[in-house]
Structure 1
Amino acid sequence: MQDVIIIGAGPCGLSAAIECQRRGLSTRIIEKHCLVHSIFLYPTHMQFFSTAEMLEIGDIPFTTSNDKPFRYEALAYYRKVAEHYGLAISQYEEALTLERKEDQTFLVQTVDRSGTRHQYEARNVVISTGYFDHPNYIGIPGEDLEKVTHYFREAHPYSGMKVAIIGGSNSAVDAAMELIRVGARIDMIYRGETVSENIKPWVRPVFEAMVQKGKITVHVQSHVTEITESSVKIESKDGEISSIENDFVLALTGFRPDRKLLSSCGVELDGDMEKPLYNPETMESNVPGLYVAGVIASGRNANEVFIETGRNHGTLIAEHINASNS
């Protein structure tokens, strides 16, 4: 019987484990993939929007020689933090079911990469799963073609290719800027009137210059209606259909959290946004002893919670569990 089981070993899950452990609570983390898997899935050369101190957890300094840290630095930092605190982490072990028992404790059933089943009992459970496993699919013909991906890692495979980027957020702009360097021909298709207003301020002027020079063709107020092996079909807001020659499609349309474990255990989800019902002062859901931390607390709006804010959820959770035990 653990005091706390935490599902998800992202920065917010690690922070929750550290804060619980500091208060003498026996704690184990269950992680479906590797440590901080969401950050691992970021583009290889990605630079964070936030400064290093805003990503720190457990009072461990995040040192970097850059104004903003890069992905590889964050991976090293969170590995160091987990090692420093000796966190008990079961990596490559997926939580399949979560059940609240009659005695008000929880049963978590898991499976590891070899197919072996495990089960854990806990007085409290924290759901801190990310969202990179679940892309927002567009639902158009051809989206399942091999040439289409919802993840951008690095530009090299697209050297000299015709690449369509669906989206206008930071991830789409960052991908376009990397693709230029390898000689890709880029079409960016976005439903909005302009690309996102939240583009990194040090990137926006360079991006706009590349658009003006014709290095990137931007199709605003447009959406992709079909993807074929050799083209993408685009419809403008006026209903005009056009076809663009194409080799690869990066459908950077965002991601959504998986709420399966929450809903199966009785956590109420609020309306269309599917935001879990919880107390923002404690992060406890409507199910006593079941907490949320990180982006899972944000419902469908995955941009509502970031590492900078979600890292503080662990303190609220640990303090509430500790107070409940006293």
Structure 2
Amino acid sequence: MEKDIIIIGAGPIGIACALECKKRQWDYVVIEKGALTNSLFNYPRNMTFFSTSEKLEIDDIPFISNNPKPNRDEALEYYRRVATSNKLHINLYETVNAIKKDGDGFSISTTKSNYTSKKVIISTGFYDIPKLLDIPGENLPKVTHYYKEAHNYALQNVVVIGASNSAVDAALEIWRKGGHVTMVVRGENIGERVKYWVRPDIVNRIEEGSINAYYNSEVIKIDETTIEIKTPEGLITLDNDYVVALTGYLPNFKILKDSGITISDDDKKIPSYNSETMESNINGLYLAGVICGGNETHKWFIENSRIHAKMIANHIEKDFK
């Protein structure tokens, strides 16, 4: 299939890019390996966004929510309605295998088809590849790197690893549903970037002893019934039923490297792109959204990267005239 634009990733920024293509009557398709807004779909069911609803809007389409800060279900409904009401061309459950520069354009192969296009936009986010602990027992069924809801953890001994927003939300919700929660935190305290209305809650629960916490600590071994933690006071072993390891996620660096995009050699692993046009070091291949931050996944989010769609479209438009 021949297209003007191939957009990889049907998250909010991919949808915003599709809207810009539709306005300009370009022949485009969005290719997504999972569900529509797959990362948001995999968020915890009761998650509330840090941003207010107007900051999550794309293309000036109003986002009406019941509260100033919308929840996961409201966001799914909003982006789903934007996609369906605008009749955007989106192929779901189709994985991109390769992106190759082919003359002035690109060849893209997927699990379902082969495409050629003049331009490619990668907006794949970062939520699909968890940062692994690389410790014995991590592959046990009782260990998960994603958290959906608390009910199955009621009356269970649960270790939550991490101190980010997702870890704090999980720990509080599991505790409130009757789970016995222990947090294992690599740093000295709960993360400073935790939502400002949630951080005092978790700090108070820890201080009063409702939730146990081990700081400057790390899990070194997991087995069927226990977990071993390295703490400043030495090794300890706790009875354990479940481990919720919310240690962060990584962008899909492989798709970037395989397509020829240069990535910085340091720990940040920032991909190469022009900050004014969002074009990578490969002519005609653009980056949009969280993927631009490499390992610094906290730098880009919906409200400050939705502008990427217009920046890319404005730059492409010069070539298409």
Counterpart residue number, 1:35? 36
Does 2:235 correspond to 1:234?
no
Counterpart residue number, 1:26? 27
Q: How does 1:203-222 map to 2 (within 5 A)?
A: 203-222=198-217
Instruction: Choose from 252, 256, 265 the match for 1:271.
Output: 265
Does 2:99 correspond to 1:98?
yes
Q: CA deviation at 1:276?
A: 0.9
Structure 2: distance between partners of 1:67 and 1:21: 30
Q: CA deviation at 1:181?
A: 1.7
Counterpart residue number, 1:51? 52
Q: How does 1:1-326 map to 2 (within 5 A)?
A: 1-101=2-102, 103-111=103-111, 117-237=112-232, 240-272=234-266, 273-326=268-321
Structure 1: distance between partners of 2:254 and 2:45: 30
Deviations 1:189-235 (A, max 9, x none): 01111010112121122222221221100101111111111111111
Q: CA deviation at 1:20?
A: 2.2
Maintained 8 Å contact 1:58/1:81: no
Structure 2: distance between partners of 1:63 and 1:255: 29
Structure 2: distance between partners of 1:87 and 1:202: 37
Structure 1: distance between partners of 2:24 and 2:253: 28
Three-state SS of the structure 2 residue aligned to 1:275 is coil
Give identity over the alignment, percent: 45
Q: CA deviation at 1:51?
A: 0.1
Q: Which amino acid aligns with 2:189?
A: T
Maintained 8 Å contact 1:20/1:314: no
Three-state SS of the structure 1 residue aligned to 2:250 is coil
Q: Note the aligned Cα RMSD (angstroms).
A: 1.1
Q: Which amino acid aligns with 2:20?
A: E
Consecutive unaligned residues of structure 2, counting only runs of 5 or more, are none
Three-state SS of the structure 1 residue aligned to 2:113 is strand
Structure 2: distance between partners of 1:92 and 1:73: 22
TM-score, normalising length from structure 2? 0.97
Maintained 8 Å contact 2:190/2:203: no
Which stretch shows the higher mean deviation, 206-215 or 301-310? 206-215
Q: CA deviation at 1:265?
A: 1.9
Which stretch shows the higher mean deviation, 16-25 or 217-226? 16-25
Structure 1: distance between partners of 2:164 and 2:101: 39
Q: CA deviation at 1:274?
A: 2.0
Which stretch shows the higher mean deviation, 60-69 or 268-277? 268-277
Deviations 1:142-200 (A, max 9, x none): 11111000000000010100000000011111001111121111100011110101121
Three-state SS of the structure 2 residue aligned to 1:165 is strand
Three-state SS of the structure 1 residue aligned to 2:129 is coil
Q: Which amino acid aligns with 1:249?
A: V
Q: Which amino acid aligns with 1:83?
A: T
Deviations 1:83-110 (A, max 9, x none): 1221100011111111111x22111111
- How many residues align structurally? 319
Three-state SS of the structure 2 residue aligned to 1:218 is strand
Structure 2: distance between partners of 1:260 and 1:169: 25
Structure 2: distance between partners of 1:56 and 1:237: 45
Structure 2: distance between partners of 1:59 and 1:213: 45
Consecutive unaligned residues of structure 1, counting only runs of 5 or more, are 112-116
